[in-house]
Amino acid sequence: MAFRHREPIAAALLAALPRSAVSLGTSLKTDLMQRIGRIEKHFNYLSRGLDGRAPPAATLENLQFAYDHNSALRRKSGENIWIPWDAPFMQGHKTRLMATWKRRYSTVPIVKWRQKANLIGKETNWLRAAAAHDDLGRQMDYLDVAITEALSEFDGWVQQQIDRARGK
């Protein structure tokens, strides 16, 4: 079946859209900014480590190492394994593995991500905006998951301290 009258139909549909409609780029930017804000907030919660005295850069390195290490263990064993990123028994093991391990991020690239999200918000080509959103989302996935797992472990540690203080 041939679509002979596509242009007039498309023009009519576009003309029928409300003038105040939010662009796709703006919607995608909003989505990204919310996710970036959540990642930043989560990292800030645990940026000083379990002891509260670690430099944020060291905490970021530790949580990336733990995530990479635990991901490798999960791939190898097929089980969901999580070893605490600040665990004392990991330090010797970590020292041996650090010789070949490369961290992906030395800082959480919040500013860079926000700049990219702002550019996506200005994009008028919906396909380019969607592709850029997908690309930035993939860039954020690694740290988002690594930080979320570390935050979950941190939350468990806090709950353990509360239970211990209550005599449980």
pLDDT of 120-131, one tens digit each?
999 988 889 999
Q: What is the pLDDT confidence band of residue 133, given thresholds at 50, 70 and 90?
A: very high
pLDDT at 109: 95
What is the domain partition of the chain in residue ranges? 22-165
- For the question of whether the overall pTM of this predicted structure is more than 0.75, the answer is no
Residue 51 backbone zone (phi > 0: left; psi -120 to 50: alpha; other: beta) = alpha
**Residue 58, exposed/middle/buried by CB under 10 A (0-12, 13-18, 19+)?**
middle
